[in-house]
């Protein structure tokens, strides 16, 4: 409840939806994330006090933007130091245009793309890029971001402060990079968004396997990118991949809280509307040029999602797609997934040989996925004792109760006599 018992839920709903656009607009106008965040909060407080009595404005974002910009201009007039700093940061800007408030009938530009590129600038480290993106584009609180990445709130607050300070001191611009920079900069942005998604879809060290808030925010950010850059194959491919992967969410954990492998999932629970949208976007991404690793990953996910069962999956097609993906991004993780596809396509003996060839990759052997894949191949070869040991080692390395329970059950199953 707000002042005098006034309900604030409608105001908060609008603010949550428009938070990223409002901050992006203010940051682009004033070049200061702290100022943008402070006056946005003041505008929200003003809305809490005003809207329940006068009614929600027809254009809530315009109302919030006008209120926040007026408060920002008032602060600048009172603070000569801040005014001087802004003059340096925006020496090439038109002060008259920046001083004009937004009217409720004015078209408000969507500056979120500029803000996203600023938060993911290569001058910042990956922790700062991810934290700032979640804070300013996704609207998560410092405490929520800290929980997602398993650090104390004070530590995350320090990271965010350092990131904001770096943006100011390095005069990182709030703009979309020019053609010469765009390819490399966009790759970094997409990597950060994908990290947010994977942290939500397979949460590391979290009680739950799924962090649905992070998954949803990653998809929302990618939709924003796709809306603002519809002809970019990498963006289209990433959105397709996230949708096709998240479509399986309802079947990933059973009623006991145990993780369910792709092979054993009840595919009738998968979200068919997400699969249809993801498949359509995959086709679109593959038709755009140049081809991207995101598009190929989306195509792999589409083959899985459109198959009635694991056995009826077109494993030859999956394997060929992994060959193409490995040519684009020859990483250990892609090599691992390619070996799993070979195990299904050519048989467990061929797959096991490929897996064993990766045993010298510490980035894989320190994770549970490689050991679990070995366990699966060994079990199919009826080498049950070795399979049990592989699954036992995988369970030791897994980080969520749902995965530990699944892998421990597999280890017990193959360790049992007979």
Model confidence pLDDT, tens digit, residues 150-194: 688 899 999 999 999 998 888 888 887 887 777 778 888 898 889
167, 177, 174: which is closest to 30 by C-alpha?
Answer: 174
Helix (H, G, I), strand (E, B) or coil at 253: strand
pLDDT category, 100, cuts 50, 70, 90?
Answer: very low
- Residue 180, token pair as written in the block: 């010469």
Q: Mean pLDDT, to the nearest integer, of 340-346?
A: 96
Q: Mean pLDDT, to the nearest integer, of 381-408?
A: 93
Q: How crowded is residue 65: how many other Cβ atoms within 10 Å of its Cβ?
A: 26
**What is the third-level CATH fold of 332-418?**
1.25.40
Preceding peptide of 161 cis, ω within 30°: no
Q: Across all residues in the chain, what is the average pLDDT?
A: 84
Alpha helices in 120-260 (DSSP H): 126-136, 142-148, 153-169, 179-201, 212-228, 233-246
Q: What percent of the chain has pLDDT over 90?
A: 42
115, 99, 123, 104: which is closest to 64 by C-alpha?
Answer: 104
- Residue 105, token pair as written in the block: 């009938």
Q: Mean pLDDT, to the nearest integer, of 351-364?
A: 94
Per-residue pLDDT tens over the stretch 228-243: 788 889 999 999 999 9
Q: H or E element: which one contains 353? A: helix 348-356
Region(s) of the chain under CATH 1.25.40 = 332-418
Per-residue pLDDT tens over the stretch 275-294: 999 999 999 999 987 779 99
pTM beyond 0.85: the answer is: no
Q: What is the DSSP letter of 259?
A: B
């Amino acid at each position: 409840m707000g002042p005098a018992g006034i309900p604030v839920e409608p105001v908060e709903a609008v603010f949550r939806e428009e938070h990223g656009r409002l901050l992006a607009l203010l940051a682009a106008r004033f070049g200061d994330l702290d100022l943008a965040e402070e006056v946005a909060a003041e505008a929200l407080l003003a809305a809490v006090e005003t809207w329940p009595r006068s009614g929600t404005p027809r254009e809530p974002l315009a109302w919030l933007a006008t209120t926040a910009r007026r408060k920002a201009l008032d602060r600048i007039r009172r603070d000569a130091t801040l005014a001087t700093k802004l003059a340096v940061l925006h020496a090439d800007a038109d002060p008259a245009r920046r001083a004009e408030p937004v009217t409720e009938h004015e078209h408000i530009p969507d500056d979120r793309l500029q803000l996203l590129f600023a938060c993911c600038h290569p001058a910042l480290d990956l922790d700062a890029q991810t934290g700032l993106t979640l804070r300013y584009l996704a609207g998560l609180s410092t405490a929520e971001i800290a929980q997602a990445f398993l650090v104390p709130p004070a530590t995350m607050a320090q990271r965010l402060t350092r990131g904001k300070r770096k943006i100011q001191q390095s005069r990182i611009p709030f703009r979309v990079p020019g053609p010469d920079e765009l390819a490399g900069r966009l790759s970094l942005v997409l990597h950060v968004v994908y990290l947010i998604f994977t942290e939500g879809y397979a949460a590391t060290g979290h009680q739950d396997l799924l962090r649905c808030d992070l998954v949803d925010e990653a998809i929302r950010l990618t939709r924003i990118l796709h809306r603002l850059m519809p002809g970019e194959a990498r963006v289209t491919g990433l959105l397709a991949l996230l949708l096709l992967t998240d479509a399986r969410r309802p079947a990933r954990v059973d009623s006991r809280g145990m993780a369910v492998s792709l092979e054993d999932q009840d595919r009738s629970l998968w979200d068919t509307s997400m699969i249809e949208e993801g498949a359509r976007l995959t086709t679109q991404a593959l038709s755009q040029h140049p081809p991207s690793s995101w598009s190929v990953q989306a195509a792999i996910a589409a083959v899985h999602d459109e198959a009635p069962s694991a056995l009826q999956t077109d494993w030859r097609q999956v394997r060929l797609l992994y060959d193409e993906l490995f040519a684009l991004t020859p990483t250990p993780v892609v090599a691992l997934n390619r070996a799993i596809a070979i195990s299904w396509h050519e048989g467990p003996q061929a797959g096991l040989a490929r897996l064993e060839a990766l045993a010298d990759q510490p980035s894989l052997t320190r994770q549970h996925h490689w050991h679990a894949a070995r366990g699966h191949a060994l079990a199919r070869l009826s080498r049950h004792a070795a399979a049990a040991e592989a699954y036992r080692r995988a369970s030791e390395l897994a980080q969520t109760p749902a995965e530990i329970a699944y892998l421990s059950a597999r280890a017990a199953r193959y360790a049992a006599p007979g």
